[in-house]
Amino acid sequence: RRMSRRPPVTLLDVFQEHVRRRPRWPLLLFQDEVYTYEDVDRRSNRAARLFARRLGLEPGRPVAVFLPNHPTYVWTWLALAKLGCPMACLNCNVRGRALQHALAAAGATVVLASPGE
């Protein structure tokens, strides 16, 4: 029903509504760390500014993301959504030909990865 609205309601819209209504509610629990909606919003804003300034990311530019299962993944995804950049999610366990194929299919000219990847 929400997708039939014009413009459709996105996950970013839902997230931002939660930030407005419940900024201090917990969103993520990772190991011993709790991240609230406000924390994640602040980190994703910081990442979006960094991506725009240093990488020149603009709306519509696809970005491949090659990150492990970590909170960084969440604010990276939100930062790209805020910038209007489509995100190609690459499985961080894939290597070799499968990874080359995924990168080629994504059409991304930028890959975001953690130092160990």
pLDDT of residue 3: 62
| Residue partners of 85: CB distance under 8 A and separation at least 6 | 51, 57, 58, 59, 60, 61, 62, 63
Least confident of 3-7, 20-24, 98-102, 105-109: 3-7
Beta strands at 87-89 and 63-66: parallel, antiparallel or unpaired:
parallel
- Write down the CATH number for the domain with range 11-113: 3.40.50.980
In whole angstroms, what is the distance from residue 37 CA to residue 63 CA? Answer: 24
Enumerate the domain spans of the chain. Answer: 11-113
- Quote the pTM value: 0.87
Say how many C-beta atoms besides its own lie within 10 A of residue 90's C-beta: 22
- Say what the pLDDT of residue 91 is: 84
Model confidence pLDDT, tens digit, residues 45-98: 999 999 999 999 999 999 999 998 899 999 999 999 999 999 999 887 888 998
Instruction: Show the tokens assigned to 76.
Output: 């990276």
